[in-house]
Structure 1
Amino acid sequence: MSSPVLQIITASTRDGRKGHAVAQWVQRVAEAHGGFTVELVDLAEVALPMFDEPNHPRLGQYKHQHTRDWSATVKRADAFVFVTPEYNHSFPASLKNALDHLYSEWNHKPAGLVSYGGVSAGLRAATALKPVLSSLKIMPVIEAVSVPMFTQFLDEQGEFVPSAQVEASAKVMLDEVLKLTNALSVLRES
């Protein structure tokens, strides 16, 4: 049996962003975890326009190729880790837009949350994201990674090198995501 596919989704799309370094670190931790086939999905590369489909996503009747491509990407996943900054006490519009483009492709899949920011560690973004995920039948795990003052963990090359505590929290989160991935597989297959 093949390993479940875990997609790590980078939410920040702005020029000069630092969050992609955080997502690349999550990718390395997830690959070392060994429970998943890991894919890094960068919303800046996906480059979705603002939601422009004429039909409700639950119908799956996509008019635009960019939505069909996004659908195929998300459908491939069994689980997600959303890596998000906090913008004005919430998560970025790029992530909301990516979530809103689809419906059934998200259903019955677990998600881990990695938030980062200043003093707040992106916790308000993670809190705002959870009801949106739940409405898409994505099950966020309780265990999460919250990185305060995250720029302190960026080295001279811009690589994210976190503390042992942050590293340990990622491993615990991935363990829980894997448990739920396996538990929810029955629903995804039906």
Structure 2
Amino acid sequence: MPLNLPVIYGSVRTERQGIVLARHVAEALRKRGHDAPLIDPMERRLPLLDRMYKEYKGDAPPVLQELADLYKAADGFVIVSGEYNNGIPPALKNLLDHFLEEYFWRPSAIVSYSAGGFGGVRAAMQLRMTLSELGTPSIPTVFAVPNVSSAFDASGAPTDEKFGKRFDRFAGELEWYAEALKARRAEGVPY
């Protein structure tokens, strides 16, 4: 069953290396038959959070309205986050915090990365808390990508031969949760 799974990326650094990973994840989900638009803060240019989408009461800026509509139609979310000083990138936190109810009752999946060998897992643990508070609890598995600068070749293909198998298992877990929660949302939500 095709799912709508926006891929939310969080870096706005000039020489960001995780964008290759985010593009690969979105494309891999599309190859599995899903709609997986890439939400890139460099393209969306959201202002620093002053008011949440819901606080505009029907008069939100077009970029927020577009994202709200996309999120309301989503079956789940994939969050691609680097690790900045043991935490998540500020652009990602800003991008996520503009919304709340739009995430409710949909699972999220965390793809983390770092320049070092830990693959951004410290940021992933902080991100779990944030996503849970937003109403989009993360699936148990984190897809961690260490040494992101050498994780892909010049064409954007993974250099690790086990990458595809690991990703398929991760994506299968997200699909299971997204399909289960989609079915339950169709029956109604607790409140």
Distance 1:152 1:46 in 2: 27
Question: Does 2:111 correspond to 1:149?
Answer: no
Question: Does 2:111 correspond to 1:104?
Answer: no
The Cα of 1:19 is off from its aligned counterpart by: 1.1
Distance 2:72 2:161 in 1: 33
Cα pair 2:53 2:64 within 8 Å, conserved: no
The match for 1:61 is 57
1:27 aligned partner, one-letter code: A
The match for 1:74 is 71
Runs of 5+ in structure 2 lacking a partner? none
The Cα of 1:75 is off from its aligned counterpart by: 1.6
1:163 aligned partner, one-letter code: D
Number of residues of Structure 1 aligned to a counterpart in Structure 2: 185
The Cα of 1:154 is off from its aligned counterpart by: 3.1
Cα pair 2:124 2:142 within 8 Å, conserved: no
Change (3 A) 1:57 1:24: closer
Deviations 1:23-60 (A, max 9, x none): 111122212223x222222121111111111xx66667
The Cα of 1:144 is off from its aligned counterpart by: 2.1
Cα pair 1:143 1:169 within 8 Å, conserved: no
1:181 aligned partner, one-letter code: A
Question: Does 2:130 correspond to 1:132?
Answer: yes
Change (3 A) 1:150 1:106: same
Cα pair 1:79 1:109 within 8 Å, conserved: yes
Q: Secondary structure at the match of 2:119?
A: coil
Q: Secondary structure at the match of 2:164?
A: helix
Percent of pairs identical after alignment? Answer: 28
Match of 2:45 among 41, 44, 47: 47
Distance 1:156 1:3 in 2: 30
Runs of 5+ in structure 1 lacking a partner? none
Question: Does 2:166 correspond to 1:169?
Answer: yes
Distance 1:68 1:6 in 2: 18
Distance 1:186 1:44 in 2: 34
Cα pair 2:83 2:89 within 8 Å, conserved: yes
Q: Indicate the structure with greater strand content.
A: 1
Q: Secondary structure at the match of 1:5?
A: coil
Greater than 6 Å deviation, 4+ residue runs = none
The Cα of 1:3 is off from its aligned counterpart by: 2.0
Deviations 1:127-166 (A, max 9, x none): 1100110011112111221111121123235x25241223
The match for 1:32 is 31
Cα pair 1:144 1:170 within 8 Å, conserved: no
